[in-house]
Amino acid sequence: MSSMKKTRSLLDRTYEVLSRRPIYHGLFWLVLFSLMRWIDQGNEVETWFALGNELIQLFFYVVLVYLNLLYLIPNYLARHAFVYFGLVLAVCAIVTPIEVLVLFLKFSNQDAYRESLVQNQVWIFWGNLVVTIISTILRVIMDWWRYQNEKQVLLTQTIQSELRFLKSQINPHFLFNTLNNLYALTLKKSDKAPEIVLKLSEIMRYMLYECNERRVPLSREIQYIYNYLDLERLRQPKDADIRFIVEGNISNQIVAPLLFVPFLENSFKHGLNHMVTGAGFVRLSLLVSDEDLEFSIENSKVDQIPKENHARSGGIGLVNVRQRLNILYPENHTLEITDEPNRYVVTLRLKLDH
DSSP string for 217-249: EHHHHHHHHHHHHHHHHHHS-TT-EEEEEEES-
For the domain covering 169-351, report its CATH number.
3.30.565.10
pLDDT of residue 2: 46
Domain ranges of the chain: 2-155, 169-351
**Of residues 171 and 139, more confidently modeled:** 139
Residue 66 has pLDDT above 50, yes or no: yes
Q: Partners of 281 in the beta sheet?
A: 241
How many angstroms separate the CA atoms of 146 and 329, rounded?
23
Average pLDDT on 138-166 reads 76
- Give the up-direction half-sphere exposure of residue 349: CA atoms within 13 A in the CB hemisphere: 7
Cα separation of 61 and 97, whole Å? 13
Q: What is the pLDDT of residues 17-64, one digit of tens each?
A: 666 778 878 888 888 888 887 877 766 567 777 778 888 889 999 999
For 187-201, how does the pLDDT look when each residue is reduced to its tens digit (9 = 90+)?
Answer: 777 777 888 888 888
Section 303-314 average pLDDT: 46
Res 324 pLDDT > 90: no
Size of the chain in residues: 354
Across the range 321-334, mean pLDDT stands at: 85
Residue 119: the pLDDT is: 80
- State phi, psi for 233 to the nearest 5 degrees: -60, -25
Q: How far apart are CA 204 and CA 206, in angstroms?
A: 5
Q: What is the pLDDT of residue 209?
A: 76
Residue 314: pLDDT over 50: no
At 298, the pLDDT band (50, 70, 90 cuts) reads very high
Rounded to whole angstroms, how far apart are CA atoms 123 and 262?
67
The whole-angstrom separation of Cα 343 and Cα 338 is 8
User: What does the mean pLDDT of the chain come to?
Assistant: 80
